[in-house]
Amino acid sequence: MKKTMITGTGRYLPPRIVTNNDLTKWMDTSSEWIQKRTGIEQRHWVEEEGGTGPADLGLEASLIAMKRAGWTAGDIDLIIFATLSPDVNFPGSGCLLQYKLGLESTPALDIRQQCTGFLYGLSTADAFIRSGLYNKILLVGAEVHSTGLDITTRGRDVTVIFGDGAAAVCIEGIESDEQVGVLASSLHAQGEFAKSLWLEAPASMLNPRISEKILDEGRHYPEMDGKLIFKMALKKLPEVTIEVLEKAGLNLDDIDLFIPHQANMRINQFYQKTMNIPKGKVFHNIQRYGNTTAATIPLAMDEALEMKLIGKGSTLLFLGLGAGVTWGAVIYRFAG
């Protein structure tokens, strides 16, 4: 039977580093506040003059992942591009990446699931592979947040948490009798809380979609009810962990590394304690990158592989919650 296997990973961060102290030049905040409340010490942002979109960052990450998988662009059957900050309103960043890869007619699909983009993308890739429709899928999570943030005191609660970056994985359907690949996934959404974390304008439900008034009111910047999202994460992440473990017929002890979305270090520390998981089994890299949204989980996996925390035979549990509100978890096992 075909199993959905990750055969290459790659990440790319723009070179410009913005530390917490740098942010204090533009807004009333402090490095201590940011570090204490979020765990973040620095993030990477694209150059201020613009010209770099998620498809550019995604291209760099993809080339690394493809090299490791032994793929050329022509091997790709489908591109799935997860982002909340597409290069332009339309077409999707997947189409832009497809062209940058030198491809002429390979299908490209964007998914707009924010922090759970990688989870939804991996589950979608798994379904395509098991259906037999596509066999080699390039899944990219990439964001350029920095050009759309309110870099003043008004936007400080949201702005300090976001970083730019990309990660990519090559996914292949491989025949195996072993219990490997994507073992189970659980995805959820609750649109009731859409306005608790959103970026409203430009919006087709507004006429005009953007105006001086909208700009003055700052409705073109992301807005978040941080406390509500925080509390939802503390509740939903343990719930979805139990749900996905049951689906896979596994226990917590069977997981070698938990790779949560990197939204706030405190959320992940709370999760680790609630679930009674040994400290070293929950991966963190938010300190260096902030919240790169659709990129956080594959970026963390790529680092964990490089650090040799995981490798052949490792079982991983990816999980996250974010705008939508959406949340989910996927269990994945590398071949031994």
C-alpha–C-alpha distance, residues 45 and 39, integer Å: 18
For 155, how many CA atoms within 13 A lie in the half-sphere containing its CB? 21
Options 20, 44, 95, 115, the catalytic residue: 115
> Rounded to an integer, what distance in angstroms lies between the CA atom of residue 134 and that of residue 50?
35
DSSP code of 162? Answer: B
Tell me whether residue 197 or residue 255 sits nearer to ligand ACO (CB atom).
197
- Spatial neighbors of 180 by CB under 8 A, at least 6 apart, are 3, 5, 333, 334, 335, 336
Q: Say what angle helices 265-274 and 226-248 make with each other, to 10 degrees.
A: 40
The rounded distance, in Å, linking the Cα atoms of 282 and 318 is 10
Nearest distance from residue 94's CB to ligand ACO, in Å?
19
Residue 20 CB, shortest distance to ligand ACO, in Å, is: 9
Least distance from ligand ACO to the Cβ atom of residue 144, Å: 13
Q: Which of 20, 261, 264, 268 is the catalytic position?
A: 261
- Of the pair 131, 153, the CB lying nearest ligand ACO is at 153
CA atoms lying within 13 Å on the CB side of residue 198: 13
Q: Which CB, 82 or 161, lies closer to ligand ACO?
A: 161
Task: Find out whether 57 and 82 touch, Cβ atoms under 8 Å.
Answer: no
Where does this chain bind ligand ACO (CB under 6 A)?
29, 33-34, 37-38, 84, 114-115, 156-157, 160-161, 197, 226-227, 229-230, 233, 263-264, 267, 291, 293, 322-323
Least separation in angstroms between residue 293's CB and ligand ACO is 5
Cα distance between residue 39 and residue 291, in whole Å: 11
Q: How far is the CB of 46 from ligand ACO (least distance, A)?
A: 17
Q: What are phi and psi of 288, to 5 degrees?
A: -95, -25
**Residue 103 half-sphere exposure toward CB, CA atoms < 13 A:** 20
Please confirm, yes or no, whether 276 is among the known catalytic residues: no
- 7 or 20: CB nearest ligand ACO: 20
324: left (phi over 0), alpha (psi -120 to 50) or beta: left
- Closer CB to ligand ACO, 92 or 173, in the complex: 92
CB of 82 or CB of 323, closer to ligand ACO: 323
DSSP assignment of 51-119, as one string? Answer: ---HHHHHHHHHHHHHHHHT--GGG-SEEEEE-SS-SSSSS-HHHHHHHHTT-SS--EEEE--GGGHHH
Q: Would you say 161 or 277 has its CB closer to ligand ACO?
A: 161
Write out the two tokens for 4: 């959905």
What angle (nearest 5°) sits at the alpha carbon of residue 57, between those of residues 145 and 269? 55
- Active site includes 95? no
Q: How far is the CB of 87 from ligand ACO (least distance, A)?
A: 17
- In the complex, the smallest distance separating the C-beta of residue 23 from ligand ACO, rounded to whole angstroms, is 8
Catalytic residue among 20, 264, 268, 291: 291
CA-to-CA distance for 104 and 127, rounded, in angstroms? 24
Which residues are designated catalytic?
115, 261, 291
